[in-house]
Amino acid sequence: MTDQPNYRSGGGDLHRPYTAADDRYDLRDYRRVGTSGLTLPPVSLGLWWNFGDNIPFDNQRALLRHAFDKGITHFDLANNYGPPYGTAETNFGRMMREDFAPYRDELILSSKAGYDMWHGPYGNGGSRKYILASAEQSLRRMSVEYVDIFYSHRVDPDVPVEETVGALDTLVRQGKALYVGISSYSAERTAVAASVARSLGTPLVIHQPAYSILNRWVEDGLTGVLKQEGMGAIAFTPLAQGLLTDK
Amino acid sequence: MAIQWVLRDPVVASALIGASRPSQLDENLAALDGPAFTTEEIERIDALSDGIDVDLWADSATS
């Protein structure tokens, strides 16, 4: 069975309506995120690369269908994944409308704001303005009414953590995010952010750090903080971006 | 194996991977379902990886 779509017959299976594999939940257990009610598959699919407008849409569709058929229920996005910015979300939005709409309740979808996204002072960082405006754009591009997890994508040292976390809290109260989290925050900043979030009544449930055999920084303090706060982690670049092949 | 390793502490609920082809996903999932680590293997990895630090996100994470 080849990975390539069958162009001669007008696309073959890829261009027929999608029905997910019946046995997709028989394959492995789901893992709890901290002490929360959220569970995730042991492997999740990131759309950081390979879902921009530079990649044939059929490749993207084949990948996502295959992932869900294998019980991967979590797709991780961010506003600026592409390239260009925004196109991982728009391409995902098309797959959402065409393939995954019947399965929305079986998916954990995430997005983020924190890095460069649009021109001017409000298109980057940790301000309330940027986070709320960007989240609205992401929902529209992704063709969803809410995301399951919304992240502050990185620390903005120029913005009070109360403002950044307050914006995440607002998204939850607006029904635009079910859970909120942070990415690439230090152990110390994680503890502060978690405390602010708890005081607002919307605890952070998840941290997304870079973590692999070649990059073990999380073990120097972050994992301890996460355990104290009842949070869990989802590790990005677990294969050190190809330095480690998974054999 | 690298994915199993990152998941060995349950505080890490999931490993986020990228893929450009379904076969890559299958390879990573197959490795996940392979034999588990022994304590000796984990200790040996600890000894070898001491001192290696490839954190491209250090600016964000340590500021």
Tens digits of residue pLDDT in A82-139: 999 999 999 999 999 999 999 999 999 999 999 999 999 999 999 999 999 999 999 9
B26 neighbourhood in chain A, CB within 8 Å: 70
pLDDT above 70 for A44? yes
The whole-number average pLDDT for the span A202-229 is 97
Distance CA A93, CA A141 (A): 6
Nearest CA distance, B21 vs chain A (angstrom): 6
- The pLDDT score that the predictor gives to residue A234 is 98
For residue A4, give the chain B residue with the closest CA: B21
* Cβ distance of B13 and A32 shorter than 8 Å: yes
The whole-number average pLDDT for the span A42-69 is 97
- The pLDDT score that the predictor gives to residue A239 is 87
Q: Which residues on chain B place their C-beta less than 8 Å from a C-beta of chain A? A: 1-3, 5-7, 9-23, 25-29, 31-33, 45, 49, 52-58, 60-63
- The pLDDT score that the predictor gives to residue A51 is 97
- The pLDDT score that the predictor gives to residue A10 is 52
pLDDT above 80 for A241? no
A14 touches chain B (CB under 8 A): no
Write out the E strands in chain A: 31-32, 39-40, 43-46, 74-76, 108-113, 147-152, 177-183, 206-208, 232-236
A246 neighbourhood in chain B, CB within 8 Å: 1-3, 27-28, 31
Distance CA B10, CA A181 (A): 18
A212 neighbourhood in chain B, CB within 8 Å: 2, 6, 54
The whole-number average pLDDT for the span A53-73 is 97
State the pLDDT confidence band at B40, using cuts at 50, 70 and 90: confident
- The pLDDT score that the predictor gives to residue A177 is 98
pLDDT above 90 for A12? no
pLDDT above 70 for A184? yes
As to burial, measured by CB atoms within 10 angstroms (0-12 exposed, 13-18 middle, 19+ buried), residue A60 is buried
* Cβ distance of A50 and B20 shorter than 8 Å: yes
- The pLDDT score that the predictor gives to residue B36 is 79
User: What stretches of A9-127 show up as alpha helix (H) in DSSP?
Assistant: 57-69, 87-95
